[in-house]
């Protein structure tokens, strides 16, 4: 029997869920909760310190842990292990409670079931981060955590699937996109089992308020041959509505492993794969504008976000404020900054990358004489995944800077917090602990991340071009390679400038 | 020559001079180590007088009430208004004019909050802050 093309399984010899101890812990009913509870406790601690602790960002856990450590560890985990932060996400603990309380609500509105909302949420977060200076305010960071918990709880309580994770969460969206580079992916062990599966518990779950026996197979004598049960101890189905045998990339997978727990046939695994494999597969990314532009815009924001930390940003903001007549209008500095940031974000983060990628796709179609064969959307969406490595390289280079220069600051801040609460276990704060002193070393690491991302993107684009244009692959690759080169050079220029921690802007 | 001058002055004048000298000395002593009044400080100057990344000397004057406070220990910590950046520390002791010169370094551009902690000769501690925006 020929396997159905809709069922997919990556060639993998390694399944993390088969590991002796780790596999058992991960598959355990409370395996995810064991990871989430410490993160939830940490989130509570950050909220507490954010609201009650020292308002100086460098002396408060609420600003140090999210803006220095979380982001550094997140990119490292995505690259080395997978979407561990969505797996341990503390915001989904009340989500699970909301789901149990609410039962099955309506589905998320059809018009919002795309990545456009996630793109908007990401841009909103980037804007709020820059405008309100989240990095310098423990209280605002605490409010952000509270807002996350509330949004997750409300959306999960109202709708049947997990709309917060799938359609809204900016952090999850970032993790979804860049976990396509990760070395692991949910997959099934035996496709034939899925073909004959009745319950599809990986999708729908094995939870039932009352115990229910389901018949998998009826024997020749009419009696049930194979059964399995749904019960109150069962697992909720996939919140992001992924059907395990059809998963072809890590997009939308929060690695909660509920699919593996719910599968009555023990047929779902966390399989190893070559990092980035999904980027060049024809069917791994649905050919949708929302997904394609999400990837491209996120990569562009890697540049915009880093640009916000280098000295030329001041000159650009001032000239925009003058050009738009904002300074002459006598607006406050905060209002001017808001308008100028919106202009920079919309032009540099949205309009420019969208226009350039559409032009590049059009040029590739013309050069390969595939204008009649491929739509502009098909040409663009095929190459969009090639922006994942360079986007990751840009973000990794930026986050690596903050992480490397400040990873040891967690020690004095913890000492300070304990001392502030009359707990002298760790002694007086040692404020001399920072991180790597040499900015040359940090700069070298940043350049390596950027170049590795560029090479990865170039390789992915070359494979996509070979698949799409065959003999005319070079002609099809050329415009995309030039766009990627442009991004890499922009990144190289940015990271060669002194990165400063943007302070108060006074418009003259 | 000064003896000649003194001989020409009336003994009452000499007494008045001594009294004046004594009063002046008492006044100076009072200015150097006042025991009453609130301890405060002011940033007198930045040397060099630019707010850019690099080494700098903070010139601070410590006062008790209106008078300069000599012999006070001054500890300075600069924190960037951003997490994950090493604070910069420095310190020194005030001279007879209540002035202390603290070698310092703005390690990166951004908004800096400088916390000054003063320990007076009699063991009292006072702290205060000022903010500066530093450019790269």
pLDDT in tens, A297-323: 999 999 999 998 888 988 899 999 999
Interface test with B, best of A46, A49, A55, A57 (most B CBs within 10 A): A57
On chain A, the residues whose CB falls within 8 A of the CB of B117 are none
What's residue A69's pLDDT? 95
Interface test with B, best of A53, A56, A73 (most B CBs within 10 A): A56
Q: What residue ranges do the domains of chain B occupy? A: 2-32, 39-134
Percent of chain B with pLDDT over 90: 53
On chain A, the residues whose CB falls within 8 A of the CB of B113 are 56
B25: pLDDT strictly greater than 50: no
pLDDT in tens, B38-70: 899 999 999 998 888 899 999 999 999 889 999
Chain B residue with CA closest to A411: the answer is: B84
DSSP state of A207: B
Per-residue confidence at B4, pLDDT binned at 50, 70, 90? very low
ipTM, 2 decimals? 0.73
pLDDT in tens, A249-268: 999 999 999 999 999 999 99
Give the mean pLDDT of A492-497.
Answer: 94
- Among A487, A392, A465, A456, smallest CA distance to A177 is for A392
Q: Of A103-112, A172-181, A234-243, A385-394, give the lowest mean pLDDT range.
A: A103-112
What's residue A1's pLDDT? 42
> How far is the C-alpha of A135 from the C-alpha of A434, rounded, in Å?
17
Measure CB to CB from residue B133 to each of A68, A434, A504 and give the nearest one.
Answer: A504
On chain B, the residues whose CB falls within 8 A of the CB of A407 are 84
What's residue A165's pLDDT? 93
Q: What angle do CA B102, A314, B111 make, to 5 degrees?
A: 30
Strand intervals (E) in A253-406: 268-272
Per-residue confidence at A217, pLDDT binned at 50, 70, 90? confident
Per-residue confidence at A44, pLDDT binned at 50, 70, 90? very high
| Crossing angle (nearest 10°) for helices A473-496 and A387-406 | 20
Measure CB to CB from residue A500 to each of B86, B89, B136 and give the nearest one.
Answer: B136
Give the mean pLDDT of A215-236.
Answer: 82
On chain A, the residues whose CB falls within 8 A of the CB of B80 are 57-58, 501
Query: Phi and psi dihedrals of B62, rounded to 5?
Result: -105, 135
- Averaged confidence pLDDT in chain A: 91
Per-residue confidence at A424, pLDDT binned at 50, 70, 90? confident
Per-residue confidence at B35, pLDDT binned at 50, 70, 90? low
What's residue A14's pLDDT? 87
What's residue B31's pLDDT? 42
Tell me which of A359 and A96 has the higher pLDDT: A359
What's residue B14's pLDDT? 54
Is A235 part of the contact surface with chain B (CB cutoff 8 Å)?
Answer: no
A3: pLDDT strictly greater than 60: no
Give the mean pLDDT of A141-149.
Answer: 95
Q: Which residues pair with A124 in a beta bridge?
A: none
B94: pLDDT strictly greater than 90: yes
Give the mean pLDDT of A158-175.
Answer: 92
> How far is the C-alpha of A173 from the C-alpha of A357, rounded, in Å?
21
> How far is the C-alpha of A180 from the C-alpha of A389, rounded, in Å?
9
Give the mean pLDDT of A216-237.
Answer: 83
What's residue B30's pLDDT? 41
Give the mean pLDDT of A194-221.
Answer: 86
B11: pLDDT strictly greater than 60: no
Per-residue confidence at B117, pLDDT binned at 50, 70, 90? very high
B32: pLDDT strictly greater than 70: no
Q: In chain A, what's the furthest Cα-to-Cα distance? A: 89
What's residue A2's pLDDT? 44
- The CATH label, of 1.10.3720.10, 2.60.40.10, 2.50.20.10, 3.20.20.70, for the domain at B39-134 is 2.60.40.10
Q: How far apart are the first and last CA of chain A?
A: 74
Measure CB to CB from residue A57 to each of B53, B81, B133 and give the nearest one.
Answer: B81
> How far is the C-alpha of A204 from the C-alpha of A140, rounded, in Å?
38
Which A residues, 378 through 407, put their C-beta within 8 Å of a C-beta on chain B?
402-403, 405-407
């Amino acid at each position: 029997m020929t396997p159905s093309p809709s069922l997919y399984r990556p060639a993998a010899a390694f399944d993390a869920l088969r590991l002796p101890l780790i596999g058992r812990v991960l598959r355990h009913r409370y395996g995810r909760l064991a990871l989430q509870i410490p993160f939830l406790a940490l989130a509570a601690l950050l909220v507490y310190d954010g609201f009650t602790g020292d308002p100086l960002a460098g002396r408060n856990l609420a600003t140090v842990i999210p803006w220095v450590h979380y982001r550094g560890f997140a990119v490292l985990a995505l690259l080395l292990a997978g979407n561990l932060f969505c797996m341990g996400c503390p915001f989904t603990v009340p989500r699970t409670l909301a789901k149990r309380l609410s039962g099955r609500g309506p589905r998320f509105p059809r018009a919002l079931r795309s990545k456009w909302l996630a793109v908007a949420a990401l841009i909103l977060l980037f804007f709020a981060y820059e405008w309100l200076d989240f990095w310098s305010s423990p209280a605002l960071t605490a409010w952000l955590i509270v807002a996350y918990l509330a949004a997750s709880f409300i959306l999960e309580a109202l709708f049947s699937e997990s709309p917060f994770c799938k359609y809204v969460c900016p952090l999850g969206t970032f993790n979804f996109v860049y976990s396509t580079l990760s070395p692991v992916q949910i997959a099934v062990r035996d496709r034939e089992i899925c073909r004959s599966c009745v319950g599809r518990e990986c999708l729908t779950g094995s939870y039932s308020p009352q115990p229910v026996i389901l018949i998998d197979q009826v024997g020749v004598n009419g009696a049930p041959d194979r059964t399995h049960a749904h019960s109150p101890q069962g697992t909720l189905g996939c919140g992001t509505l992924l059907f395990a045998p059809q998963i072809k990339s890590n997009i939308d997978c929060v690695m909660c492993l509920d699919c593996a727990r719910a599968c009555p046939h023990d047929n779902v695994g966390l399989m190893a794969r070559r990092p980035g494999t999904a980027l060049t597969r024809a069917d791994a990314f649905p050919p949708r504008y929302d997904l394609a532009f999400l990837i491209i815009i996120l990569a562009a924001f890697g540049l915009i976000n880093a640009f916000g930390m280098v000295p030329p940003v001041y000159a650009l903001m001032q000239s925009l404020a003058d050009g738009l007549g904002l300074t002459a209008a006598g607006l406050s500095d905060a209002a001017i900054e808001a308008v100028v940031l919106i202009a920079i974000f919309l032009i540099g983060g949205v309009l420019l990358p969208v226009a350039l990628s559409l032009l590049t796709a059009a040029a590739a179609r013309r050069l390969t004489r595939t204008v009649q064969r491929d739509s502009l959307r098909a040409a663009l969406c095929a190459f969009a995944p090639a922006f994942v490595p360079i986007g990751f390289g840009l973000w990794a280079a930026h986050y690596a800077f903050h992480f490397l220069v400040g990873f040891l600051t967690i020690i004095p801040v913890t000492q300070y917090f304990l001392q502030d609460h009359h707990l002298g276990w760790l002694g007086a704060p040692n404020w001399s602990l920072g991180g790597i002193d040499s900015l040359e070393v940090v700069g070298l690491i940043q350049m390596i991340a950027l170049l590795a991302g560029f090479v990865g993107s170039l390789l992915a684009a070359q494979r996509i071009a070979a698949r799409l244009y065959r003999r005319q692959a070079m002609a099809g690759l050329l415009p995309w390679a030039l766009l990627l080169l442009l991004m890499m050079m922009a990144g190289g220029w940015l990271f060669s400038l002194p990165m400063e921690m943007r302070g108060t802007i006074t418009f003259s | 020559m000064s003896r000649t001058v003194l001989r020409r002055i009336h003994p009452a004048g000499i007494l008045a001079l001594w009294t004046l000298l004594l009063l002046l000395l008492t006044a100076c002593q009072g200015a150097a180590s006042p025991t009453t009044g609130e301890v405060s400080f002011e940033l007198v100057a930045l040397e060099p007088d630019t707010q850019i990344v690099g080494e700098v000397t903070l010139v601070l004057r410590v006062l008790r009430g209106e008078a300069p406070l000599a012999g006070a220990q001054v500890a300075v910590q600069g924190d960037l208004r951003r997490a994950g950046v090493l604070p910069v520390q420095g310190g020194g002791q005030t001279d007879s004019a209540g002035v202390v010169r603290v070698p310092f370094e703005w390690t990166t551009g951004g908004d800096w909050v400088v916390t000054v902690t003063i320990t007076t000769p009699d063991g009292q501690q006072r702290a205060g802050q000022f903010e500066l925006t530093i450019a790269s």
